[in-house]
């Protein structure tokens, strides 16, 4: 009887983890719709928080983003968390307007945007597949990623004042590596049962995808952008 109970419990746990992963991917897919809408509005309006003062605009944008992230985590067990998450994805899509406009000034800008989208998608598929299929437990790298997130945040804040183009490219590369690892870690946590809330999991994966896209596009523009004649 005890063995039957253990089998039943194991099956229930597997079902619960699969549901979390399924709901995470569904919400992640849904979040791309407000992102696309926000990006379209951002490109067409030409509005940028950085237009007046890059430092103040960046700090304001970060305050809004982290404020929404905090609110999402506080409401992750209710439908309010979903609405807040979709609001965040719309805002982040809107903030893509300036870099997308800048990209389109290049002769091959549209192509580079497409490459960045495709590269981001392939990176997500590859890293999430690895995170879900590996037998290794990634819980041990959680602290490493936590420290990495703090280091990157400090570096971003420092470059707001330094404004070094080469350092920005180094940051872009670092964000790509960090975000790729974060995708595998987050998916692995869901599969192993370390993350049981699909809203939190979606938030983490979305931020990673966003960072990979922006970082990859920056690198492509720096090394492959062709000026118009």
Phi-psi region of 60 (alpha: psi -120 to 50; beta: other; left: phi over 0): alpha
Residue 44 has pLDDT above 70, yes or no: yes
The answer to pTM > 0.85 is yes
- Cα torsion through 57, 61, 64, 70, rounded to 10: -130
Whether residue 73 lies inside any domain: the answer is yes
**Is residue 13, in this structure, part of any structural domain at all?**
yes
Does residue 155 lie within any of the structural domains? yes
- In this predicted model, what pLDDT tens digit does every residue of 131-189 receive, in sequence order? 998 887 777 788 889 999 999 999 999 998 888 999 999 999 999 999 999 999 999 99
Q: Say if 189 falls within a structural domain.
A: yes
Mean pLDDT of the 80-107 span? 95
Q: What is the CA radius of gyration of the chain?
A: 19
**pLDDT score for 228:** 58
User: Domain tally for the chain?
Assistant: 1
Where residue 226 falls among pLDDT bands split at 50, 70, 90? confident
Q: Which of 215, 67, 87 is nearest to 152 (CA)?
A: 215
At residue 10, the pLDDT reads: 54
Boundaries of domain holding 160:
2-224
227 backbone dihedrals φ, ψ, rounded to 5°: -65, 150
């Amino acid at each position: 009887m005890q063995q039957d109970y253990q089998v039943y419990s194991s099956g229930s746990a597997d079902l619960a983890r699969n549901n979390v992963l399924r709901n995470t991917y569904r919400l992640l897919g849904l979040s791309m719709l407000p992102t696309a809408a926000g990006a379209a509005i951002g490109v067409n309006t030409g509005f940028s928080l950085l237009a007046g003062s890059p430092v103040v605009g960046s700090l304001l944008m970060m305050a809004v983003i982290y404020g929404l992230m905090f609110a999402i985590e506080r409401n992750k067990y209710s439908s309010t968390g979903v609405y807040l998450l979709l609001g965040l994805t719309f805002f982040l899509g809107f903030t893509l307007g300036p870099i997308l406009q800048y990209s389109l000034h290049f002769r091959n800008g549209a192509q580079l945007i497409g490459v960045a989208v495709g590269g981001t998608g392939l990176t997500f598929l590859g890293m999430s597949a690895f995170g879900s299929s590996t037998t290794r437990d990634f819980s041990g790298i959680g602290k490493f990623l936590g420290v990495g997130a703090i280091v990157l945040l400090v570096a971003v804040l420092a470059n707001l004042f330094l404004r070094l183009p080469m350092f920005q490219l180094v940051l872009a590369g670092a964000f790509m590596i960090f975000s790729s690892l974060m995708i595998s870690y987050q998916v692995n946590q869901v599969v192993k049962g370390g993350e049981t809330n699909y809203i939190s999991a979606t938030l983490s994966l979305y931020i990673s995808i966003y960072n990979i896209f922006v970082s990859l596009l920056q690198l492509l523009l720096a090394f492959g952008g062709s000026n118009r004649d």
